[in-house]
Amino acid sequence: MAEILALCATCCHGGHGKNGNFLKDSMSIKDTSDLNKFLKPFSPDVKKLALGLREFVWNLYPNCNELVYDSYNALAFGWSISDKLGDTFCSIAVMEKYCHFGFYRGVDISDPEKRLLGQGNQYRYIKIHEPADLPKTYVKKLLKEAYANAVARKKIAAMKKPAKAKPEPIVKGQTITKMTLANKRRPK
């Protein structure tokens, strides 16, 4: 576990990368053009809530990537240790009157206070109607564990790759719009 946490410290929190290269702070918290366009159908309160939750995560994980999905059921943006959905450790799903603050593999993290909702095989979330609904201290602990799990999964996957496999490009601190659909359910 100590090795995983050491790797975590170099991945998305900033600091020096594996090759000694300094990972600069992200400016992507300011990259909101697509996101603001996708948030237009939502009420001002829900927009403010979603952007506040976004800022909360960006401040904790400035060198991770934000992946934006403007899909049929919800606008969702999640934080990943790479540019791939499978490496996502947390997300925000924007609904008509509230947001889900979720964990992509929430079934794999401890939830001693039993605050996480969800019955599926992996996703768990907390329903947030207003900023005061977010238990920040508790969520920070869950985020730390979810992030460490994502790093560990990535490390295990890398060890299973053939020695001659092409290395993945390193993308850090970016907002990446991965999908936008023309038809979607949104508030009128």
Q: What is the pLDDT of residue 182?
A: 63
Query: How far apart, in whole angstroms, are the C-alpha atoms of residue 143 and residue 60?
Result: 9
Sequence-ordered list of residues with C-beta below 8 angstroms from that of 42, at least 6 positions apart, any chain: 50, 75, 94, 96, 186, 187
Predicted confidence band of residue 35 (pLDDT cuts 50, 70, 90): confident
> Is the pLDDT confidence value at 45 over 50?
yes
Q: What is the pLDDT of residue 184?
A: 61
In the block, residue with structure tokens 């768990």 = 124
Q: What is the pLDDT of residue 88?
A: 92
Beta bridge partners of 103: 124
To the nearest whole number, what is the mean pLDDT of the chain? 80
Query: How far apart, in whole angstroms, are the C-alpha atoms of residue 43 and residue 32?
Result: 17
- The Cα diameter of the chain in Å comes to 53
Q: Residue 90's closest CA among 108, 114, 106?
A: 106
pLDDT digits (tens, 9 = 90+) for 88-105: 999 999 999 999 999 999
Q: Are 168 and 158 in contact (CB under 8 A)?
A: no
Distance of CA 147 to the CA centre of its chain: 9
6: phi then psi, degrees, rounded to nearest 5: -65, -40
